[in-house]
Amino acid sequence: MEQLKQVKQASRKLAQLPIEKINEVLVDIADGLTTQIPTILDANKKDLAQMETTNPKYDRLQLTKERLEDIAKDIRNIATMPSPIGEIFEQRVVPSGLELTKIRVPLGVVGVIYEARPNVTFDVFTLCFKTQNACVLKGGSDAKESNQAIVSYIKNILKKHTISEDILFLAPANREAVYEILQAYNNIDVIIPRGSSTLINFVREHAKVPVIETGAGIVHTYIDISADITKAQAIITNAKTRRVSVCNALDTLIIHQDKLDNLSEIIKPLAEKKVHVYADNQSFNAIKNQYPADLLYQAAPEDFGTEFLDYKMSIKTVSSIEEALEHIQQYSSKHSEAIIAEDQKAIELFLNTVDAAAVYANASTAFTDGAQFGLGAEIGISTQKLHARGPMGLKELTSYKWIVKGNGQIRT
């Protein structure tokens, strides 16, 4: 793909752009977005018309005036944040007399492959531009019209500021483009897949470019024997129903068997939201006469370890916190996990033992988000351990290099 070479070339000039100019452009994009809302929403309606409203992805695909206004606020916020580029990690003079400085630098060209979430187009460009990274975007065919409208708008602003439009490339929506991006190790420095486990697994298996895995969330919340029921009800309701289509939404409620008498009370608000519950034998028997029969099912093995992205939730009963930890270890995607408990020993055991990017005590997993973590926005939630983990903000889109200054030294 010839355009990828052009992006790589443009990235070198972007690395020289003053941060003051970058911030000016970001503010211009945010300010001008208000006038572009009708155009972008018209494009989004074309995409929405091709998808059933019952599809769990519909909410992710949908843009609204309010959502676009929130995006503009996020862009302005990022413009006010300090740039991490040029940050000095350490400086020292070694015995040879060489002066060493370790500084933060852009990654170069960031490729992001994502599904039906056009807001990601704004997020990725904004964060990459702030960190002086060029970006290659490969959105899903479901959001083709929306993504094209957004990229066209951003490129018009870049052109206005005489900045190369090649720093932003939206690849064709066909599958062939994915293969080309994944093989483009000479022109793309890192690939970030953002979406389902199917997408992430595909990218991992076929990429020649280094990959940072983000997105898939199989999320658990454990209700300990010491849990406060009022807290549990509020947290479970929020984690499950705030937005069911996002990766930090609750999938499996794990409950201590001694709390089963409280289970119907805890999940009562879920019935009002029409949440389908897939309960194991113990929890099923505990709530079968309280939870609506048309929303309650006996759990099957495949109901655990599933990212529902829908008004669906499974329930697992355990006899101890150790059993809860074992269940999470078996099924977690290492995204976000939570415990609801008043016993501080149980909380510390959970926080120290669970292997995930974000581990919560007495709070909803809905908070796993770059903006909520004070990062301005995010390019995704990394579920791996190398380079970055958790919400990926500005600093996570950088690397570092050693600057070495000498005065004629040679090594013997």
What CATH number has the domain bearing residue 265? Answer: 3.40.309.10
Alpha carbon distance 408, 151 (integer Å): 49
Mean pLDDT computed over every residue of the chain: 95
Pair 81, 195 in one domain? yes
pLDDT exceeds cutoff 90 at 385? no
Alpha carbon distance 106, 339 (integer Å): 37
pLDDT for position 215? 66
- Each residue of 149-163: pLDDT tens digit? 999 999 999 999 999
Tokens 């029969």 sit at which residue? 293
Alpha carbon distance 151, 40 (integer Å): 10
Q: Looking at the 3D structure of the chain, how many domains does it have?
A: 2
Residue 16: inside a domain, yes or no? yes
Residue 374: inside a domain, yes or no? no
Residue 158: inside a domain, yes or no? yes
Pair 385, 298 in one domain? no
Alpha carbon distance 399, 70 (integer Å): 29
Alpha carbon distance 151, 171 (integer Å): 11
Alpha carbon distance 110, 134 (integer Å): 6
pLDDT for position 75? 95
Most confident of 171-180, 240-249, 255-264: 255-264
- Each residue of 39-75: pLDDT tens digit? 999 999 999 999 999 887 898 899 999 999 999 999 9
- Each residue of 103-146: pLDDT tens digit? 999 999 999 999 888 999 999 999 999 999 999 999 999 999 99
Pair 197, 258 in one domain? no
Pair 256, 307 in one domain? yes
Pair 14, 161 in one domain? yes
pLDDT above 70 as % of the chain:
100
pLDDT for position 1? 75
* DSSP bridge partners of 196: none
Pair 197, 232 in one domain? no
Pair 20, 126 in one domain? yes
Give kind and range of the element (H or E) at residue 43.
Answer: helix 19-48
pLDDT exceeds cutoff 80 at 342? yes
| Number of residues written out for the chain | 412
Give phi and psi for 402, each to the nearest 5.
-95, 125
Residues near 244 by Cβ (< 8 Å), separated by ≥ 6?
Answer: 56, 59, 308, 309, 310, 311
pLDDT for position 123? 93
Pair 193, 307 in one domain? no
Alpha carbon distance 136, 151 (integer Å): 11
Residue 411: inside a domain, yes or no? no
* DSSP bridge partners of 361: 339
Q: What is the DSSP letter of 211?
A: B
Residues near 368 by Cβ (< 8 Å), separated by ≥ 6?
Answer: 217, 247, 248, 335, 336, 357, 358, 381, 390, 391
- Each residue of 169-213: pLDDT tens digit? 999 988 889 999 999 999 999 999 987 778 888 999 999 999 998
Query: 132 is in which domain, residue-wise?
Result: 2-214+379-405
pLDDT for position 377? 80
Alpha carbon distance 142, 149 (integer Å): 14
pLDDT for position 246? 87
pLDDT for position 116? 83
* Domain CATH number, residue 44: 3.40.605.10
pLDDT for position 69? 96
pLDDT for position 211? 95
